Structure 1
């Protein structure tokens, strides 16, 4: 039986360790050789890294109606020219256990940036996304996970144009615009309305524009600037500013801004509302001289018996219109006989004494230089007494 001395024993163990190390190294090299050898089907023909997410930037939010969301990456960097495809994953959780969209085999765009459009996603939710490059069937590491948010599905309808109506006419330099409120679907915030006025239906440039809070049922707006005379257009849309959602604009509505008074909005202190009476006469000249007001017009209306007295024929009344605190008030004044165009008594007591104590004329005194409106109509002061045709002239302005 062979025995080893202590020195021989130590040497034997050193020899055995070297042999085992050499054997392990050989085995390791063999494994690497097999993994990277040409006969291993899982070996890619080149080295590559994960693509880099580019769009949407991490944390970006989208309105629901901005979909589809487009995912975009910078192509994977690699050492060769083999074809690269991409697998895409979108999930509603960071661990990608609830995948809502996936697609494999997305061809690489030679521009250096590859993208894919997502289907419509549910609103009011965060989404997480990543890409993987695939080379020769080998799936690489995922790109860094990024996230985006799709806001709630809020749908704002189209407001309904009310005033000025399409094709209508306004006279005030700052008329009131009125819309019926738009329908609202979804968890919207506070709704406001953006009004725009322009000289063309392209709405560039704008004459006036402002966003105002919604009113109950309908919303009104008065421009902060004077509107020019002539043909204008206006439109409006609903907005949810908090959620960055805008509804569609209404169709452009054309209207005419004229110099004058909007008879529809006049408060009639004495006499009927003549806004709907057809204008069959035009005032050719109007002026005030001393206490006399002259209103020449180009129409011959039939006469009526004044308060039933056939010996006194009347054909018209002079009308006066005065603006008080932004509101126009009107009243039928002096009677006019056939061929008569001028009437007197237009002095400091005219309004106080001439309108049967009707407010606000019962306390009104115009001063020199103030502007008021005048018109003529068929008999109207005691309407419907002495009624004939229910026709009127235009409105002209005169200096007191």
Structure 2
């Protein structure tokens, strides 16, 4: 009987011990509950760099640079990020550090850097921090900021403020000076009826010329109207644009007789410097029709030649014959003209102008 009592007592003890544990195997034991979440260690995977792409070149004009990482995987919430930028891959020479950057909500986290020195290579990486646990830095990516390029405003050459022009004036600027390894430069010209340039009536972009660059409107501007113009130099490859040139104004005039003939010839009467004065001081005589002629020495040419038209246009603007020749030579317009005051004639290679009955006739030379 005593043996039965011992076996019963042992069974009761085992039952009591079992009752001290959870009856639901899914629930933690009392010991595990006592340790609780504090016993878990936060785990943070390193964020992965997304942009800028590794080893990319960034134009200096495109600063500030924005760094983007794929969010780190963490067992905790409230994740923040640290971004480091250095000039060496070991990050011994750090130039910027961005701490406590809040995690983005779209699966990515971004930070905008301060301006970096141009013409320099950089490395960057990022790490995540959550609930006092700091992860490791992700892989380092590199990028290079391009050189600094500055383009100064072009300088207007003609027409300058107060000038009177044809209805299609030749706008000219001295090429913009620049610093740094600039690329190909183009020039944007704008013509407007007001100095605010709120409304543009003509615009065009031309490649840089030698020493200077010009633009001619594609259509006639209204006559007897004042317009304003400016030009801007653009280096599209490097994303650099100058400030606009100083604004100049001009007033269109009725086309002169010489400019109308130049239009028939398909040439610009004054492709360079524009002469002063207004037409109305001289009259065309005979034989100014556009036609092919043959000179006394057998040369076939299209008459009237530009040199002759330009000389007459200066006479029409109020120049005297010798003054017209001198102005052309001093402003880069070559001419072989010679004035003969005794006979009121201006001689050229194949023809001459003769003042007859108050009008300038164009006469084909008969000999040398």
Q: TM-score range by the shorter chain?
A: 0.5 to 0.7
Alignment partner, residue 52 of structure 2: 56
Residue 164 (structure 2) pairs with residue 182 (structure 1): no
Residue 346 (structure 2) pairs with residue 358 (structure 1): yes
Residue 132 of structure 1 deviates from its aligned partner by: 0.8
Matched-pair contact (CA < 8 Å) for 1:63–1:151 = yes
Residue 74 of structure 1 deviates from its aligned partner by: 3.6
Aligned counterparts of 1:162 and 1:289: Cα–Cα separation in 2: 34
Residue 362 of structure 1 deviates from its aligned partner by: 7.3
Q: Normalising by structure 1, what TM-score?
A: 0.53
Alignment partner, residue 328 of structure 1: 310
Matched-pair contact (CA < 8 Å) for 1:235–1:250 = yes
Matched-pair contact (CA < 8 Å) for 1:193–1:212 = yes
Q: Report the 3-state secondary structure (helix = DSSP H, G, I; strand = E; otherwise coil) of the residue aligned with 1:329.
A: helix
Aligned counterparts of 1:106 and 1:49: Cα–Cα separation in 2: 16
Alignment partner, residue 66 of structure 2: 70
Alignment of 1:1-400 (within 5 A): 43-44=41-42, 47-80=43-76, 82-110=77-105, 112-171=107-166, 173=168, 175-185=169-179, 187-189=180-182, 192-199=185-192, 202=197, 207-216=202-211, 219-223=212-216, 225-229=218-222, 230-241=225-236, 243-261=238-256, 275-276=276-277, 324-325=305-306, 328-330=310-312, 331=315, 356-360=344-348, 363=351
Segments of 5+ residues of structure 1 without an aligned counterpart are 1-32, 268-273, 292-321, 333-351, 367-374, 382-400
Q: Report the 3-state secondary structure (helix = DSSP H, G, I; strand = E; otherwise coil) of the residue aligned with 1:65.
A: helix
Aligned counterparts of 1:39 and 1:290: Cα–Cα separation in 2: 109
Segments of 5+ residues of structure 2 without an aligned counterpart are 1-31, 259-267, 288-302, 317-339, 361-368
Alignment partner, residue 330 of structure 2: none
Higher helix share: 2
Deviations 1:185-241 (A, max 9, x none): 2x323553413234465577673412322533xx13143734433554432223345
Residue 64 of structure 1 deviates from its aligned partner by: 2.0
Aligned counterparts of 2:349 and 2:123: Cα–Cα separation in 1: 72
Higher strand share: 1
Q: Report the 3-state secondary structure (helix = DSSP H, G, I; strand = E; otherwise coil) of the residue aligned with 1:209.
A: strand
Matched-pair contact (CA < 8 Å) for 2:44–2:72 = yes
Aligned counterparts of 1:165 and 1:276: Cα–Cα separation in 2: 13
Aligned counterparts of 2:228 and 2:137: Cα–Cα separation in 1: 55
Deviations 1:44-100 (A, max 9, x none): 2xx4433343333334433323322222334334344x2111110112233333322
Aligned counterparts of 2:94 and 2:138: Cα–Cα separation in 1: 16
Matched-pair contact (CA < 8 Å) for 1:193–1:213 = yes
Aligned counterparts of 1:261 and 1:361: Cα–Cα separation in 2: 24
Q: What is the aligned length?
A: 268
Q: CA distance change for structure 1 residues 137 and 168 in 2, over 3 Å: closer, same or farther?
A: farther
Alignment RMSD, CA only?
A: 4.6
